[in-house]
Amino acid sequence: MTSAALDRTLILVRHAKAAATNSEGDHERELTPAGRADAEAAGAWLHGHDIGIDEVLCSSAERARQTAEGIWAGGCCEADVRYDQRIYNAGAEALLQVVREAEDDASVVMVVGHAPGIPALTSLLADGEGSSQAHDALAVGFPTTGIAVLSFAGHWQDLALGAARLERFHVARP
């Protein structure tokens, strides 16, 4: 297998803006109208940068599910989605383990999750490598509908902290 065949893109997305509370609990919080618009803006941004997704690993939380749906509605091509309870409020190490289980034939994997896990994993994977502009933007914070685009070469199961490059960081807003 050539090294080009092992080029990977990992997209880490913090879910869009959600309602502050829900009578059914945190897991069931839904997106606000602004959050829905932001999720669609994320899809439009991904589509505008010709970033297609092969596999989505999504938190089982309602706000994360709705963010993924909004991304498709915004124009990003739909992909196979695996809803995973382990992503809900997971830390960086737990998220990394989920990513390592991605399908090996998927070149581009997107994870839709929560803070602080998604921002922490982004920082730990890139560890200063990649676009200085993206790192500067990330240093300001990782708000809702923040999108980190990282690259690395290898199998998903071998992804390690410090092994990726932060190529882009964008906060999706209409």
Residue 157, pLDDT score: 96
What's the CA gap between 145 and 62, in Å, rounded? Answer: 15
Closest by Cα among 107, 88, 108, 170 to 98: 88
User: Nearest CA to 43 among 11, 77, 10, 15?
Assistant: 77
> How does the average pLDDT of the chain come out, rounded?
94
All domains in the chain, ordered by first residue: 3-171 (3.40.50.1240)
Give 97-146 pLDDT, tens digit per residue.
999 999 999 999 999 999 999 999 999 999 888 999 999 999 999 999 99
